[in-house]
Every structure is written in C-alpha cells, then in structure tokens.
Amino acid sequence: MTAITASSSNVPDQQRVGEERRTTIALSDLYEDGTDEWTLRGRTRLTNATWTIRKVKLNGDTSSRTFTGRSFETRVSSANNTDRVEVIVRGRAPPVEGFSYDPPQRFEFVRLSKVVGDNVKLVGAWEVHHYTDASQRARSAIEDAEPVVESAGNQQAREQLNRAIRAYESGEFDLARDLAGDAESTARNAQQSSRTLRLVLIGAGVLVVLGLLAGGVLYLRSQSGPGDPLG
C-alpha cells in the first residue's frame, strides 16, 4: 500500500448523465514510503474531461498543468520541493451502459495511481452513481413501494415489485413505475384487508364471550329453585 494520503470533500454521491461536475482531490505525504520521485497517473470515465494538476512547494509557490481526455500522467519529485498535489477534474457523467437497482449502477469518477517503474499502486478510487431523469423517477417509485410491500408481507405485491425491478434494469422505466405503483397499491389493500379481518375477528370474539356469559347466567338461573338465594 502506498503511504500517500488522498482526500476529497466534494466527490458527488450521484450525477445525472450529461451533467458536469468539478472535484478537487488533495494528495499529501508524497514521499513517506521513501520514494523521492514517481509518476502520478489518473484516469476517469467522465466525458469531456479536463484535469488541472497543481503542485504546491514547501514555500507555498504553485505550478499548474492542464490535461484533456480520460487520463493523464505527471512526474512528482522531492527535488522540485513539491510538498503536495491537487488534482482538479471536471467532466460530464457518461451514458449508462447497464442499469442495476441494487447495487445501483456506478461509473469510475476518478482513479489515481502511483507508478514507479513497472510497479503501480493505487492511491485512491472514487465511483459515482449515474442516472437519467427517467431512471431516477423509476427508482424513486420502487424505493417508495419497497417498505410498504415489506410491511404487508403479501406475495402478489412482492412479485409485482420484483417485476418492477426487472423492468428498471431493462431500461423500461415507465413500466417499472407502473409496476411499482401496482405493488404499493396491492400491499396497501392487503394491509387494509388484514386490519379489517382482525377487527371482524375481534368483534366475533367479543360476541362469543358475551354469549358465553349470557348462557352462563341463564344456566345458573335454570338450576336454581324457587327458594334458592340465587333465584
């Protein structure tokens, strides 16, 4: 493992296809493993990607270099008094090659490696969930239906929800939304039917108890004679 520390506070959790984002990743502890000179290599699946590599020296002076495309390489050397490096990447989320509900589809946002000769060590990798407006609406419908279906425990609703997920993963987002809505409706109806049945059973139980009590009173009265204190 490389000793380099990589940190970023603004890598997005998700990104709409075609949406542009800008992220800065800071690298420090550049030579802690004893390597005084090495190559920083980066790659991304962002489209229209541009990289700005800013090297900060011990005295605070900076130098920058810009690259375009999905990859770059730059030398890092203690002889140049480089103390830390900032990698600024800007680009658009690529098209989705295949949709997945759980786990959600993701793409390689940034991957940084340290290269010394033939030795390549990972510095850091960040993946981001990407989506379209239509896929996000379908996902939201499925997510809304899931807790209702789980709570109801209804097999028909579960099968409808599974079909909704399969439709989502096939890119049939309108169908996925409809099936998710059907699953939620089926689950809610099942819950209502279950509540109604419980009320009916409770009511029936009360009537049975009352009937038994009334029967007991009548029985006691029938067993008592004219002079019986219970009469």
* Pairing status of strand 14-16 against strand 119-131: parallel
- The residue written with tokens 């990589």 in the block is 6
In the prediction, which pLDDT does 9 show?
Answer: 82
Fold type of domain 5-131? Immunoglobulin-like (2.60.40)
What is the Cα 46 distance to its own chain's centre? 20
Q: 1 in helix, strand or coil?
A: coil
Write down the domain spans for the chain: 5-131, 134-223
Q: How many other CB atoms are found less than 10 A from the CB of residue 99?
A: 20
Secondary structure class of 53 (helix, strand, coil): strand
Residues of the chain falling short of pLDDT 50: 1, 197, 199, 206, 229-231
Could you tell me the sign of the dihedral formed by the alpha carbons of 214, 216, 219, 224, in that order? negative
Give the pLDDT of residue 84: 96
Residue with tokens 């502890």: 29
